[in-house]
Chain A
Amino acid sequence: MQAVLLIDFGSTFTKLTAVDLEERRILAAAQSFTTVESDVMQGFNCALEILQEQLGGVEFIKRLACSSAAGGLRMVASGLVPSLTAKAAKLAAFGAGAKVIKTFSYELTDEDIDVIDDIAPDIFLLTGGTDGGNVKVIQHNAGLIATAKKPFPIVIAGNRSAAKVCHEVIASDIHPTYITENVMPELNRLNIAPAQAVIREIFLDRIVSAKGLSHEKALIEGIIMPTPASVLAALSLLSKGTEKTEGIGEIMCADLGGATTDVYSIAKGYPLNPSVMLSGLREPFEKRSVEGDIGMRYSAKGIVDAQGLEEIINISGLSKEEAENYLSEISKDKSRLPSDNKTKAMDFALAALAIRTALIRHAGELERIYTPSGAVYKQQGKDLTGIDKIILTGGALVHSDNPQAILDIAISNIEESSLVPRNPKAIVDRGYILSAMGLLSTYDEESAINIMKQYIGGHVDRTGQ
């Protein structure tokens, strides 16, 4: 046996997955509450004990961890034009596994700096201008961000002509500063990998230790990435495959949480029809988006705002009063679980509409323009209409009796112009193994993809509290 321990320090649960590389199978999985206030190791030890009870005490040849504990990797970004460098910065940060608390465009103001100080991000990403393009705004913003009082590292990934000046203005003891390649070196061309590499480096060097996540260096050889980055790595591997193992092709994934909903697409997203013009920023093949206002409990109100109470009533079959009552209940008690058929129907409707909203925001948009000689079409973002598999994960989806029905409702009643998948099959990651497999992929790709192909869509028992 060649046992590897994969650890995911989540915001609520610390999840452990033990795998055997020789037989390429999951040995056991366990979880325990994350205890950030005291020491994350407490929750870890607790989960490890449960795991070892099942395993009868195995020796691990490798331990790998990812983390979204202590708020995850919290970032603030700034760019120039909202649909261009500001969007590129956001895509870069999301893809690096960050939570983007806020994105600024154009010139920052003193008030904005107060807001940033209040947020106290883990990393600030400064962008703006194509290479050789606008220097004024990024330099102005560098001057202002230098006045922030809270300490945080700053990544400069804007117009290369301005990088040095920005660095000179910003770099200080409280704002260690890193220069990397422009996130949008030419108009509409995204170049986010270099910025993501620097973000990850900073995450490893500074943030993990600052958040008290690596007290026991010997026990965990390293928290190697933020959890969402690990999920993205797993999805990418599963989609593309390796030299020896075929991937499953273009896929999407929706992770529905209590506070946020993440959507991933591993897909080119080019127009399917040659007469459609692709315009705007070319989005990444591996794209992650995060909806901070869409979630089953903390952000249930965002679902209502986005889709309307009417739609929730239609789907759940409840009366207006019943629906409103449940919404007010869950806003008071975030750990409220559905207890009967009516509350189950409400959670079903909320889940479907959360996914609908998040899919629409993630996918591209087709604009139809009428001309005297007929209609012409223009596409912004990715065309995901042909994606036939969506992996679902997150509490409400994993515990649902009928995830396919949730997905079917999610993709119904959507404007024709939204390029969301038209007929996707739901595949459920019941065992929450995606993040674990993303970690494993950095160590043994073959095992990771083979385990995913066996277990995703199937069942993994995760014992614990």
Chain B
Amino acid sequence: MEKKTIVIGVIGADVHAVGIQILYYAFSEAGFNVVNLGVMVSQEEYIEAAIESNAEAIVVSSLYGHGELDCQGFREKCEEAGLEGILLYVGGNIVVGKQPFEDVEKRFKAMGFDRVFGPGTAPETTIDALKEDLLGIK
């Protein structure tokens, strides 16, 4: 199988460093070529990394509760930079307060994210999604 490249990182001013490390190992283990940008990643950094590494997906993690704000305009910036149609995922603690996940999911999808993962999602779920979206494996 040709290795697909994905870019991962924790967006915005978020310093929660443990989860992304776990995702890095899980995705690498699953056969992806993973570019891990770590914590405090700006939209521009994801995009630049995806351009240089020819990535086919960007997996955004957000844990500190400001993910929605940090993700605004991300899809538009990707398109502006020539990354048309790149796969965008988001996950982590993106549901803040007492609101149903479905509402949050809807808003992130409206922003152009292809898949939105709620709190407590196991890495395997994301791996299956990546395999389906990038390799057509169901």
A129: chain B residues at CB < 8 Å are 52-54
B52 touches which of A84, A280, A370 (Cβ 8 Å): A84
Asked if B51 and A277 make an inter-chain contact with CB atoms under 8 angstroms apart, the answer reads no
B5: chain A residues at CB < 8 Å are 132-133
Nearest B-chain residue to A370, judged by Cβ: B13
| Per-position binary interface string of chain B over residues 57-72, scored 1 when its CB falls under 8 Å from any chain A CB and 0 otherwise | 0000000101000000
| Total A-B pairs, Cβ < 8 A | 61
Chain A: interface size category? 20 to 34
A371 touches which of B13, B39, B55 (Cβ 8 Å): B13
Choose, from B24-32, B40-48, B106-114, B122-130, the stretch at the interface: B40-48
B135 within 8 A of A: no
Expressed in whole angstroms, the Cα–Cα distance for A186 and B33 within the complex equals 11
A371: chain B residues at CB < 8 Å are 13, 64, 66
Expressed in whole angstroms, the Cα–Cα distance for A84 and B52 within the complex equals 8
Asked if A277 and B38 make an inter-chain contact with CB atoms under 8 angstroms apart, the answer reads yes
Whole-angstrom distance between the Cβ of B24 and the nearest chain A Cβ: 13
Residues in A254-284 with C-beta less than 8 Å from chain B: 277, 279-280
B22 within 8 A of A: no
Expressed in whole angstroms, the Cα–Cα distance for A444 and B110 within the complex equals 67
Expressed in whole angstroms, the Cα–Cα distance for A286 and B64 within the complex equals 37
A80 within 8 A of B: yes
B15 within 8 A of A: yes
A128: chain B residues at CB < 8 Å are 52
Asked if A133 and B52 make an inter-chain contact with CB atoms under 8 angstroms apart, the answer reads yes
Asked if B45 and A279 make an inter-chain contact with CB atoms under 8 angstroms apart, the answer reads yes
Q: Which 10 residue pairs across A and B have the least CB separation, nearest first?
A: A133-B53, A369-B13, A134-B54, A133-B54, A81-B48, A371-B13, A130-B53, A277-B40, A187-B35, A84-B52
A-B contact pairs, 18 of them (CB 8 A): A81-B48, A81-B51, A129-B52, A130-B54, A132-B5, A133-B5, A133-B53, A133-B55, A135-B54, A187-B49, A187-B53, A277-B40, A369-B12, A369-B40, A370-B13, A371-B64, A371-B66, A378-B40
